[in-house]
Amino acid sequence: MAAGRHKHGHDHLKSLQKQLRAAANFGEWLKTRGIGVRSVTWETAEDFIRRTCARAGWKPNSGSMGTFKAAVRRVVVLLGRPRRPRHRLPIPPKSHTRELAAFAEHLRRRRGVGEVTTGLYVRYVRPFLHHAFGAGPVRLKKLTSGDVERYVLDKLEHFLPQTVQSKVAGALRSYFAYKTLDNPTARPLLAAIPRLRLPRAGLSPSILTDEDLEKLWSAFDSRTPLGRLEYAIVRCLTDLGMRVGDVVCLRLDDLRWREGLIRVQNHKNMAPIWLPLPETVGNALADYLENSRPVTDSRRLFVYQRTLTSPSVCSVLAFLRNAYRRLGLYPRIRGAHILRHTAATRMRRAGVSLKEMADVLGHRSVRTTARYAQIDLPALRAVAQPWPGGRS
């Protein structure tokens, strides 16, 4: 109990320190622009927030962004400015609710889109319907290509370009593609959605090296039940490139020991796949099942011995973060998705084709897989030949 209170107090202190730094940065920004205290408005604060978040590259709704926004807005309140009213969308009319429900059903049944992605698309299509039709029914004949293009481009004032491209435009593109199935009017609207020119993402400098992986695998105590469970999960992440959500949902029925296969549910696109079970993963799972998994009626593969509950995505991310810190890899290495990129890179270096990698990772497009696999630049330099006729 005392340890829990100490941890909570430590986290609270860190949050306060972040808020104080944000307030100090806001003050310095105002000073450099010659803005006096009496001239500070909500628009001034939002301009500072938008510029700083874009420069820092924070993801929308991330913890860092939330803490930063709260601190700056608190400064404006302390200066005596009235609190801004919250801008919330009104309750959508029944016609919009039915439209969004039909769209979500199409994504799930016809396209096999997972629940998380379906909810994300609906979340960004809903404000568009409100903007375009208000409380009236959805009638695409009222829209022009310019209406759609302006709506997407106007979002650049509120979101990062990457967010507008992948979420706002992506959701609308999926929605209008759905409408074209029985409404030819939607085709020009689909073509009107702009594709933003974004800088190409560079290769991630944070892919785990072979030395980093060896350290990570040795970071879990194989003498304890919890250590065996965490080690088996990490092996699934590093050797098979599985998503955390798919790992925690593994069931006993997903293992075929005689055939040497493991089934990955692939909740992102709802298309389960059977993969060969690597010896390293099989040994880790067998050690966990024989020596650590408690006797329970649950068919979940991973179960905590003390609580008889399955690990959650948050708990997996938590023990990974603790392992990175113990090994001195944090914050250069963070999160679990980097292990998926690392697995793709190792497969590429081993000579696995992009098509085979896409099958293992559960990607529908080889282009997506190509972004996951990092190029081994030192190896390329070693085999590079001098340019004919050029300087050596």
Domain for residue 336, yes or no?
Answer: yes
The pLDDT of residue 44 is 85
How far, in Å, CA of 306 to CA of 316, rounded?
A: 16
Confidence bin at 199 (pLDDT 50/70/90): low
Quick check: 132 and 124 in contact, CB under 8 A? no
251 is catalytic: no
Domain for residue 392, yes or no?
Answer: no
List 106, 179, 340, 346, catalytic entry:
340
Domain for residue 12, yes or no?
Answer: no
Give the 3-state DSSP-derived string for 95-119, with helices as H, strands as E and coil as C. Answer: HHHHHHHHHHHHHHHCCCCCHHHHH
Confidence bin at 313 (pLDDT 50/70/90): confident
Q: Which residues on adjacent β-strands are paired with residue 300?
A: 251
Q: Pick from 142, 158, 192: which residue ends a domain?
A: 192
Domain for residue 8, yes or no?
Answer: no
Q: What is the dihedral of CA 12, 13, 18, 24, to 10 degrees?
A: 130
List 73, 268, 293, 341, catalytic entry:
268
- pLDDT tens-digit series, residues 53-101: 777 666 555 566 778 888 888 888 888 877 666 556 677 888 899 999 9
In total, how many domains does the chain have?
Answer: 3
Domain for residue 258, yes or no?
Answer: yes
- Do 217 and 311 share a domain, yes or no? yes
- Do 54 and 155 share a domain, yes or no? no
- Do 74 and 99 share a domain, yes or no? no
- Do 103 and 67 share a domain, yes or no? no
CA separation (Å) from 118 to 95, 111, 131, 385?
19, 10, 20, 49
- Do 177 and 225 share a domain, yes or no? no
- pLDDT tens-digit series, residues 9-61: 555 677 788 888 888 888 888 888 888 888 888 888 888 887 777 776 665 55
Query: Quick check: 298 pLDDT over 60?
Result: yes
- Arithmetic mean of pLDDT, 135-154: 92
Query: Quick check: 384 pLDDT over 80?
Result: no
Confidence bin at 173 (pLDDT 50/70/90): very high
The pLDDT of residue 73 is 85
Q: Which of the residue ranges 3-7, 120-124, 291-295 would you say has the lowest mean pLDDT?
A: 3-7
Q: Pick from 157, 192, 227: which residue ends a domain?
A: 192
List 69, 173, 251, 337, catalytic entry:
337
- Arithmetic mean of pLDDT, 263-268: 85
340 is catalytic: yes
94 is catalytic: no
- Do 329 and 230 share a domain, yes or no? yes
Structure tokens, 273: 């796949």
- Do 234 and 357 share a domain, yes or no? yes
Confidence bin at 6 (pLDDT 50/70/90): very low
Query: Quick check: 278 pLDDT over 60?
Result: yes
Confidence bin at 192 (pLDDT 50/70/90): very high
List 73, 96, 293, 363, catalytic entry:
363
251 DSSP assignment: B
How far, in Å, CA of 186 to CA of 285, rounded?
A: 50
Confidence bin at 331 (pLDDT 50/70/90): confident
Q: Domain containing 345 — which CATH number?
A: 1.10.443.10
Domain for residue 3, yes or no?
Answer: no
Q: Domain containing 130 — which CATH number?
A: 1.10.150.130
The pLDDT of residue 354 is 85
* H or E element in which residue 52 lies: helix 42-56
- Do 249 and 310 share a domain, yes or no? yes
- Do 178 and 219 share a domain, yes or no? no
The pLDDT of residue 211 is 93
- Do 116 and 140 share a domain, yes or no? yes
What do you get for the CA distance between the two ends of the chain, in Å?
67
- pLDDT tens-digit series, residues 201-257: 544 556 899 999 999 999 999 999 999 999 999 999 999 999 999 999 999 999 999
Q: Phi, psi (5° rounding) for residue 379?
A: -70, -35
Domain for residue 201, yes or no?
Answer: no
Percent with pLDDT over 90 in the chain: 44
Q: Pick from 192, 220, 251: which residue ends a domain?
A: 192
Query: Quick check: 367 pLDDT over 60?
Result: yes
- Do 372 and 224 share a domain, yes or no? yes
Confidence bin at 121 (pLDDT 50/70/90): very high
363 is catalytic: yes
The pLDDT of residue 382 is 59
- Arithmetic mean of pLDDT, 167-176: 94
- Do 290 and 156 share a domain, yes or no? no
CA separation (Å) from 285 to 3, 145, 242, 295?
32, 54, 15, 16
List 235, 243, 346, 348, catalytic entry:
243
The parent domain of residue 225 ranges over: 210-376
Domain for residue 390, yes or no?
Answer: no
